[in-house]
Amino acid sequence: MKQILLRTPATTANVGPGYDIFALALKEPYDEIYLSLNTTGKITIEIEGGHQNIPADIQDNTAGLALIELFKRYKSGHGIHVRITKRMISGAGLGTTGAAASAAVYGACNLLELTLSNNEMIDIARLGEVASGGSPHADNVAAALLGGFTLIKCYKPLEVLKLNIPEIPVVLAVIRKGQRTTRGFITYEIGEEKLKEQIARCSAVIHALHCNDIAEFGKAINVDHIAEPVRGAAIPKYKETKAKILEAGAWGCTISGGGSSIIAFCDINHQNQIASLMEKEFSENPLFDSIIKTTTSNQGIVIV
């Protein structure tokens, strides 16, 4: 029986203005995914650790849905069993659904000896995201698979670019969202001025990363006219706390992926102070889970 154990990282998507386009991988936290081939011809899923009501039905699970697509495209008489060991909180904007989908596709390709390109694997894994947010966005799955900062260069056909970035210290206030997805409330009808600013900020993010200028990177991610106004309104004290986090010396602060976690990028000397500030301001929120101090990472999925 062929088997594989993978570690798949948390990712933070959007990174300010890059809604569904930008994401980056974090060193911690991560989930583990074990896959084994069998002869049943069926895909089965088991969830271990963290009682978070994650569906094990393959049609409702991001890893399951991605594997259905993989098996449809690359016919295989095999069955596969997937065991997801949860170490990350789901439903908090840490990219855990994408991490599972990417790892499932990567692991299955390895076991079945399929030589797919990264773009092909991401294109299949993103279809798994439909089980979570109803949309096949590729940002989280790309960053989980490749690590580093990923940007979608093109959706049709899907083409992803990975940029290696320095290890930037990060503080996360992990807060679960109050509903499964808030994507339905987001609008692209933001008007010409805001649209231009959004595109300008995306350009600034890429330029800052090419120049290794982390202060500029932080400044560029601070504005988002698409997701942040909708999701920020649902997080008590978000706007004023973001201002305090920036005053305390963070380079940048925004909402992580689909929320409601908040991510701040800062130098290592400010990390403890910003962590305390975030804890003080957000820990009364009943959906608050924890504060995580970590860094960005150029490492994507790894075979354990």
> Contacts with ligand HSE: how many residues (CB under 6 A)?
12
* Touching ligand HSE, residues 25-84 (CB under 6 A): none
Q: Which of 62, 140, 198, 294 binds ligand HSE (CB under 6 A)?
A: 140
Phi, psi angle pair for 187, to nearest 5°: -125, 150
- 175: Cβ contacts below 8 Å, ≥ 6 apart: 92, 235, 259, 260, 261, 262, 282, 285, 287, 288, 289
Q: Does 228 bind ligand HSE (CB under 6 A)?
A: no
Minimal CA–CA distance to 263: which of 280, 286, 285, 238? 238
For the beta carbon of residue 168, count every other beta carbon within 10 angstroms: 21
Tell me, what DSSP letter sits at residue 136? -
Least distance (Å) from ligand HSE to the CB of residue 21? 8
281: three-class secondary structure by DSSP: helix
Tell me, what DSSP letter sits at residue 74? S
How far apart CA 227 and CA 14 sit, in angstroms, is 9
**Of 41-49, 77-85, 137-145, 213-221, which part binds ligand HSE (CB under 6 A)?**
137-145
At 134, the amino acid letter reads G
Q: Does 20 bind ligand HSE (CB under 6 A)?
A: yes
**Of 1-9, 135-143, 240-248, 271-279, which part binds ligand HSE (CB under 6 A)?**
135-143
* Touching ligand HSE, residues 173-192 (CB under 6 A): 183
Least distance (Å) from ligand HSE to the CB of residue 104? 16
How far apart CA 301 and CA 4 sit, in angstroms, is 12
Q: Which of 7, 137, 201, 219 binds ligand HSE (CB under 6 A)?
A: 137
Q: Does 281 bind ligand HSE (CB under 6 A)?
A: no
At 143, the amino acid letter reads A
**Of 12-20, 101-109, 213-221, 272-280, which part binds ligand HSE (CB under 6 A)?**
12-20
* Touching ligand HSE, residues 229-258 (CB under 6 A): 257-258
- 159: Cβ contacts below 8 Å, ≥ 6 apart: 119, 152, 153
Binding mask 258-277 for ligand HSE (x = CB under 6 A): x-------------------
Apex 304 CA angle, 300 and 70, nearest 5: 60
Q: Which of 15, 227, 262, 301 binds ligand HSE (CB under 6 A)?
A: 227
Q: Does 120 bind ligand HSE (CB under 6 A)?
A: no
Can you give the C-alpha Rg of the chain in angstroms? 19
**Of 24-32, 75-83, 99-107, 134-142, which part binds ligand HSE (CB under 6 A)?**
134-142
In this complex, which beta carbon is closest to ligand HSE, that of residue 141 or of residue 220? 141
In this complex, which beta carbon is closest to ligand HSE, that of residue 59 or of residue 135? 135
Contact 170, 265 (CB under 8 A): yes
Q: Which of 10, 13, 47, 209 binds ligand HSE (CB under 6 A)?
A: 13
How far apart CA 187 and CA 166 sit, in angstroms, is 33
How far apart CA 151 and CA 206 sit, in angstroms, is 9
Q: Does 139 bind ligand HSE (CB under 6 A)?
A: yes
In this complex, which beta carbon is closest to ligand HSE, that of residue 21 or of residue 80? 21
Q: Could you list the residues that contact ligand HSE (CB under 6 A)? A: 13-14, 19-20, 133, 137, 139-140, 183, 227, 257-258
